[in-house]
Amino acid sequence: MSALVVSTQMDDFKHYDLIIDARCPREFAEDHIPGAVNFPVVNDDEYAEVGTLHRTDPMGAYKIGVQYSLLNIARHLGESFDAYNRKSRILVYCFRGGKRSRLWFDALDVIGYRVERLQGGWKGYRRSVNEQLKSLPGTYRYNVLTGPTGCGKTRLLTALRLAGAQVLDLEELAVHRGSVIGAIPGHAQPSQKLFDSFLLRQLCTYSTERPIWVEAESKKIGNVQLPENLLVAMRAGVTLQVETSMQQRVKMWREDYAHFESDPSSLVAKLQFLRPLVGNAEVTAWEELAKQHEIPALFERLMRSHYDVAYRRSSLRNYPTLDSSPALTLDDLSPDALFPIAQQLIRQYG
């Protein structure tokens, strides 16, 4: 008789030494319990083969599926289980908590491991994630950093984290810096479901006794969307306006967007959709600066003519009392300069 875990709360998963996702790699890539390891009983091609055969010959499909599964489980056991013993606590799950996790459970149970199956599988877990994200964000207090692009908000969040604050870096979780040019070269964004999983895991690590420091964000960061309840809770938080000189902002852009330094025309190409908004003359000026490789001038003009205007409009819509919020001027965006400022902010705002 399989042991079942009733709860799918994120906090419960930290008690396991190993969490096995028995689904195929394609399913795992879309979403999984954070910290889980993908030991599929069938790979993507095998899963497709079994599914196709199942339409006409269910028993034959199960026979082939079990053959693949036994071979794959044997390989995983031989390659990946030296670090685990009979005291190790292991959780196994598949899509609905059915056949694939049962195959893993039976093998591990026979060996003598302390193994359990997740009731409802990934589908039950996913339902739990959605439910928790409706309520959990509203249980915290938020200190929200606002300010125009390039002013150092993200770097200040990093300093706050190093100084011991509770920090929620949404752009880090989303693997994206926000806006249409925010993609990070060589790094794909997580799926929406996987982003939700990462976000929930992060939220579950926080204490309600202290505020969470976060950067003001729009509804979407690249291709992922923030939960509405999180946005509502952030907008009810304490806001702090971050400011720095244009010289520092341009310097930061040159560091964070170095890939556009060598190919500024690709940057302007991504912004062509703004032509109806800012006008042909403005976009033409961007194109000319890119052509002449005038990087500092291009970055400054982009911020002054578009990003600053758009950010302020969006910020006032989401944070109507922004102009009455305290302001913090950063003269130096280096880690050494930001760390003592972060310490002071924690003493002042929690």
Helices marked H in the chain: 25-30, 44-54, 58-80, 99-111, 121-135, 153-162, 170-174, 192-203, 228-235, 246-256, 258-261, 264-270, 275-278, 280-291, 295-302, 308-318, 335-349
Q: What is the DSSP letter of 304?
A: I
Please measure the distance between the N-terminal and C-terminal CA atoms of the chain and give it in whole angstroms.
50
What's the Cα-to-Cα distance from 207 to each of 9, 96, 258, 307, rounded to whole Å?
16, 32, 37, 35
57, 118, 147, 155 from 106: Cα distances, Å: 25, 14, 56, 49
Task: Supply the DSSP symbol for 226.
Answer: -
- The answer to whether 174 touches 189, Cβ cutoff 8 Å, is yes
Among candidate residues 322, 342, 291, the one with its CA nearest the CA of residue 152? 342
**DSSP helix/strand/coil, 139:** helix
- d(CA 350, CA 336) in angstroms, rounded, equals 21
Look at residues 268, 332, 276, 331 and name the one whose alpha carbon lies nearest to residue 299: 268
Q: Is 236 helix (H, G, I), strand (E, B) or coil?
A: coil
Q: State the catalytic residues.
A: 94
At residue 46's C-alpha, the angle toward residues 41 and 48, to 5°, is 120
Cα dist from 51 to 30, 61, 70, whole Å: 19, 7, 17
DSSP 42-104: S-HHHHHHHHHHHTT-HHHHHHHHHHHHHHHHHHHHHHH-TT--TT-EEEEE-SSSSHHHHHH
